[in-house]
Amino acid sequence: MYQHSDDKAEFSPLIQSHNHETHGDSDTGPASTTFAIVFTTLVAVSGSYVFGTAIGYSSPSQSGIMTELALTVSEYSVFGSILTIGAMIGAIVSGKLADYIGRRGTMGFAEIFCLLGWFFIAFSKTAWWLDIGRMLVGFGMGVISFVVPVFIAEITPKELRGAFTTVHQLMICFGISLTWLIGAFVNWRALALIGSVPCLIQLVGLPFIPESPRWLAKNDRQFDCEVALQRLRGASKDVSAEILEIQEYTELLKQLPEPSVLDLFERQYARSLIAGVGLMALQQFGGVNGIGFYVKSLFTTAGFSGNIGTIALAIIQILMTSLGVVLMDISGRRPLLMISASGTCLGCFSVALSFLLKDLQLWLAGSPMLAFFGVLTFVGSFSLGMGAIPWVIMSEIFPINMKGLAGSLVTLVSWLGSWIVSYSFNFLLNWSSTGIFFIFSSICGFTVLFVAKFVPETKGRTLEEIQAAMNPLSTKS
């Protein structure tokens, strides 16, 4: 089986760095943040904010929607989980869309569906229209969840890639948290209209940002690739070495036949596929969307104030995700993942213990606080690494010729897991609140072992170096 080592030789790139003569006073030093990279990233992660608002919407809206439209628990569970059905459909087409119409075009395409979905929800008079709107938003989310981290990974230099790609998760957290907070003061229809605002922001901003240089190179638009990369790196930066590495790797991959879905399961992609699919599955089956979609009712079930708990979660989520952004390119991906997964394991165990004590009629005064501590620990730990890093890893480990197919598969697995958990969570909570959180805790504990065994450290390497090391057979001429 595939094992990891701290020895750098294991990840020595098949594509070697080239020395290029520099001309004039152009800057060839370490990568620096430019206005173009910051602005382009902010436009891209407006879609991530939409992602977050959609996830956060169902919790503060539950009582209002169920009362006004007379929905049962089962009908509301359909509304909450149908988001992930739409996301699975979006995930299936996301890779091909991103390959054919580009990363920018795909983001714009997704936002049109999100915008329509929010309007359907805001003006719904029946459960049927409500579900259609939720599914449309989900479709857009499924596309966004793939294309945004891939786009950011492809435009940023290796020294900044981890932190910038993590901003995707940070904006998801902002979307969730602010939706929870705003939802405490406005009704569910107004909250849906507010959710449409970031869709419009991204649609307006997309014409003003460059396309991914790697996508342009793949599509034989070499001049546009150089222009886009120069704009992103700054006018004084010598980009010749980076351009050459991108072009060499792209030309190498063009010698391979057009990939099919079955090609994903060949031996040369096994390392990437195990890491990508495994991380996404474990991320979802650790229970995050069950907690995120129904956090208010979860606190109420545990005997704690839903509003106080939700506000505390919103604050801790933003703080811990921000810390994750800072640590991503300092500590590396793997250590942060293992710390994060350990924290989610502890958090779920604490919630399970709280429900167990409540069932046994023991320590009734303290069990709500234990549940509060557990959910807070889970959400904070998840925000630190498990929320963002699987998407960062997914955007880094697949070669450009397979990224569309592989990304669609990995994103589909993520949303399939999300649907299973979000649809079944209310029923499982009624079946055995203690049992379901012990199961979540066990899965989170297993995640630590999985990361140690199968997930590579990608910090400080170019995408071409990572992909050549992860998929060596695919780059042999």
187 vs 55, 193, 328, 370, CA distance in Å? 17, 10, 37, 31
pLDDT higher than threshold 90 for residue 46: yes
pLDDT band for position 189 (cuts 50, 70, 90):
very high
Contact in structure between 243 and 226 (CB atoms under 8 Å): yes
Helix (H, G, I), strand (E, B) or coil at 212: coil
Q: Please enumerate in sequence order all residues whose Cβ is within 8 A of that of 313, keeping only pairs 6 or more positions apart, or say none.
A: 177, 180, 295, 375, 376, 379
pLDDT(5) > 70: no
pLDDT at 16: 41
Q: What confidence score (pLDDT) does residue 460 get?
A: 78
Residue whose token pair is 């809206």: 61
Say if residue 337's pLDDT is above 90: yes
Q: b/e map of 110-140 (b: 16 or more CB within 10 Å)?
A: bbebbbbbbbbbbebeebeebbbbbbbbbbb
Q: Say if CB 40 and CB 228 are below 8 A apart.
A: no
Amino acid, res. 424 = S
Q: Please give the pLDDT value at position 304.
A: 65
The CATH class that applies to domain 33-209+256-475 reads mainly alpha
DSSP assigned state of 386 = I
- Percentage of the chain modeled with pLDDT above 70: 87
Tokens (6 digits) for 143:
């596309």
pLDDT band at 11 (very low <50, low <70, confident <90, very high): very low
**pLDDT band at residue 277, thresholds of 50, 70 and 90?**
very high
- Tell me: pLDDT of 6 over 70: no
Q: Where are the domains of the chain?
A: 33-209+256-475
Residue 29: pLDDT over 60:
no
> pLDDT band at residue 89, thresholds of 50, 70 and 90?
very high
| CA pair distance 384, 438, nearest whole angstrom | 22
Least confident range of 98-107, 341-350, 431-440: 431-440
What mean pLDDT do residues 237-247 have?
87
What is residue 27's predicted lDDT score, i.e. its pLDDT? 47
CA angle in degrees (0–180, nearest 5) for 218-222-228: 95
Does residue 457 have a pLDDT over 80?
yes
**Mean pLDDT lowest among 156-165, 357-366, 390-399, 447-456:** 357-366
Quick one: pLDDT at residue 144? 92
Q: Say which range, 36-45, 74-83, 136-145, has the weakest mean pLDDT.
A: 74-83
